[in-house]
Structure 1
C-alpha cells in the first residue's frame, strides 16, 4: 500500500506515561538523577521508545514540565485576572508539597543544567510573569496599588513567597500562612484590597 507507515504505530499513551514518569523522577531525584533509562523503566517502555521522541534528557525534562497540566503545577491566572485571584491561587499552589518540590528542583538545576532552566523560564515562567505584570497594571488603574507602582514588584513579592516556603523544607505550609505572608508583603507596597 502506497503511503502506509512502516513499523508499529506510535502509541499516544506512551507519550503521557513517559512524560509523567519524567516529571515524577525530576521531582524525586532532580535533573541530575533523572536518566532516560530510569524514565523508560518507570514508564514501562523501552529506552528506544523514549529516544525516538526526545533526543536528550533536557528535551525530555522540558517536555515533561510543559506536559504538567494538573492543578499542582499550574501557574498564576492569565492576564485579565485580579490581584485577589492571584493571591488565592499562589497561596494554594505554594501550599502543595509537589509544587514546592518541583520549584526546588528547577531552581537547583540552574547550576548544572542551565539550558533546562533557561527553557523553563522562557516557555513556562515568562508568559506567567507577563500576565502578572498586566494584573499589576490593572491593580494600579483600579487604585488597589499606588500610582507608579512598578509591576515587577509583584514578581519580587512572589519570589519572596517562593523562597519563604522552600526554606521551610519538609515543614507543612498551609495556604492560609502563604496568603497572610503575601498580603503582608503587598501591604508594604501599598496594596488596598477591593471593598
Structure 2
C-alpha cells in the first residue's frame, strides 16, 4: 500500500464514505485540528521520562488518543452516514473521572496559571489550546449540520483534562507553576 494516493492533488479530500470536499471545508478543519491535538499530546508524552511513575498516565492517554482519533472520524463522517466509532457519554464521564483523580492531589487554584514549567507540562498546555481550537471548529460544524453532541462535550472535557495534566506534571517533577500577576 502506498502512502500517497494523488487524489488530493487538486485541493480536495474524501470524507468517510467517499464524499469529496475542499481541503479547507469546515469538517476537514475540525478533524485536522483533532489530528494536530493528538500529535501535540504525543509530543508531550515523549517529553516525560520513560519510567514506571508515568505508566498509569500513559495508559490513560492511550485511551484518550484513541478516542480523539474517533472524534476525528466522527467529524470526518458526513451527516446521515454511519459512524464506525461513535463517541458516547461514557467517554465524557471517563475524562471527568480522570480530571477528578488528578485534581484531588493538586494545590487549589488561587490565580490564573501561565503555561510553563516542565517541558512536558508546557507541551500539554499547547495541546490544550489546540483541543480548544478543535472544539470551536466542531461547534462551527454543528451549527451547519448535525454533529454528535458528545463530540463537543468530549473536546471540552479533554481541554480541561490537559490543563489538569499540565499541573500534575509540574507538581510531580517539582517544576514551579507561574501565576499571573497584575
TM over 0.5: no
TM-score by length of 2: 0.29
Task: Say which structure is richer in strand.
Answer: 2
Larger Rg: 1
